[in-house]
Amino acid sequence: MKRLIVNADDFGADRHRDAGIAAAVAAGAVTSVSVLANGPSLDDGLSLLRSWQRRGISVGLHFNLSEGRPLKRGAALIANENGAFLGKAATHNLLMQNANMEIAAEIEGELEAQIAHLKERGLRIDHLDGHQHVHVFPAAVTMVARASARHTIPRIRVPAEELIGEGPGGSYGPADDGASGLRNGDNGPERQAAAGPHAPERRGDNGRRERNPMEAGAFGPPSGRITGGIETPAPVLLREAAMFSRLAASARPILASVGMRAADHFRGLVLKGRLSLPLLEDTLKNLPPGVTELMVHPGYAPDRPAPGPFAAFATAERERELAVLLAPGFRALLKKYRIEMISHLGANP
């Protein structure tokens, strides 16, 4: 049996991102949502998140160490002199250190603050993943494993994806070999209702030509070549995906040691910014048996992005993903390949 968790990342980044995620949830195209605890629009979306949890949509922490400001004051290593996170590249470099106790202490303090922030707002944390996958980096993974066990967070993302192809670093090889030490605990699943009450406000017309989501490259320039109607990932995207997959593979035994559960398979690293229905069909028809988590980033693009650290979150690429998820063809593909959609809650024992 093939089961699919479609998880939308970055809820709380801004109202345009949140409205796009809400549209996908209401359409039954997204069954799980990850929340930025330091996101500027989080409080505005709390009632929506609570209603989704009542309807069986899983809501999790999108652990953030790279964008915006920490929730815990006094960080000297994971934040700059202005008190803001360091940004993606600098944070990834910092998190490659695995023997610095001062960095580990700051990460643990920030993780506890983000968990508490969601709980204080009446949210149950059904799963945990990382913004830009920070949770599987060497400096963070042990802290994440311990905190997840302390707070009985039942599910976690392991972004190890099958990557086949040649690149500057040689063969990327299959990163997702199915040999996970994490227990899926997937017995007796139930289909989760994804409908929600929210009718998002549509963005204004900014003059961009609307394109069919069936078309490769819709809503944005292609990242790589077009082969057989399917856009291939650019080398830079493959290199990044290979790095995340290697880190995730190394993180597996650490997470498994505290009893964390994950989906059997993961997809989405090489779909970032280039999703189309042909590419989605190629992904779905090749899903292995078991539970797969598909990471998506739907959203609306505003006429004028608001300034701030999350300004780049509501873009044409996000609208492109949303258009694909809302297309009638998506549901047809699920039926065609006999795939059942569930949330992280449906994958629990």
At residue 273, the pLDDT reads 86
At residue 205, the pLDDT reads 35
| Residue 184 CB contacts under 8 Å (≥ 6 apart), including other chains | 261, 262, 263, 264, 290, 291, 347
CA distance 286 to 122: 38
Return the H-helix or E-strand segment holding 113.
Answer: helix 101-120
Return the H-helix or E-strand segment holding 332.
Answer: helix 328-336
- Which pLDDT tens digits describe the chain residue by residue (349 residues)? 999 999 999 999 999 999 999 999 999 999 999 999 999 999 999 999 999 999 999 999 999 999 999 999 999 999 999 999 999 999 999 999 988 999 999 999 999 999 999 999 999 999 999 999 999 999 999 999 999 999 999 999 999 998 754 333 333 333 433 333 454 443 332 223 223 333 333 333 333 334 443 344 433 334 455 555 566 778 889 999 999 999 999 999 999 999 999 999 999 999 988 899 999 999 999 999 999 999 999 999 988 777 788 877 778 889 999 999 999 999 999 999 999 999 999 986 6
Determine the angle formed by the axes of helices 138-150 and 88-95, rounding to 10 degrees: 80
At residue 188, the pLDDT reads 32
CA distance 298 to 321: 5
- 10 as an active site residue: the answer is no
Residue pair 129/9 in contact (Cβ under 8 Å)? The answer is yes
Written in H, E and C, the secondary structure of 225-274 is CEECCEECCCHHHHHHHHHHHHHHHHHHHHHHCCCCECCCEEECHHHCCC
At residue 256, the pLDDT reads 94
Residue type present at position 255: L
Residue pair 20/313 in contact (Cβ under 8 Å)? The answer is no
Residues in the chain: 349
Closest-CA residue to 310 (of 146, 134, 68, 71): 68
**3-state DSSP assignment of residue 79:** strand
Write the class of the CATH domain 2-347: alpha beta
Token readout for 245 is 């997959």
At residue 233, the pLDDT reads 79
Q: Which residue has the tokens 């709390």?
A: 46
User: φ and ψ at 3, to 5 degrees?
Assistant: -125, 145
Residue pair 104/77 in contact (Cβ under 8 Å)? The answer is no
User: φ and ψ at 103, to 5 degrees?
Assistant: -65, -45
Residue pair 281/334 in contact (Cβ under 8 Å)? The answer is no
At residue 102, the pLDDT reads 96
Which of 9, 126, 129, 186 is catalytic? The answer is 9
**3-state DSSP assignment of residue 35:** strand
At residue 181, the pLDDT reads 43
**3-state DSSP assignment of residue 7:** strand
Per-residue DSSP letter, 85: B
At residue 306, the pLDDT reads 73
For the chain, the straight-line distance linking the first and the last C-alpha, in angstroms and rounded, comes to 16
CA distance 86 to 267: 27
Residue pair 4/292 in contact (Cβ under 8 Å)? The answer is yes
Identify the burial level of 338 via C-beta atoms within 10 angstroms of its C-beta, where 0-12 means exposed, 13-18 middle and 19 or more buried.
Answer: exposed
Token readout for 98 is 């695995």
At residue 182, the pLDDT reads 54
Residue 155's beta-bridge partner residues?
A: 127, 261
| Residue 72 CB contacts under 8 Å (≥ 6 apart), including other chains | 109, 110, 112, 113
Q: Which residue has the tokens 């970055």?
A: 10
At residue 37, the pLDDT reads 98
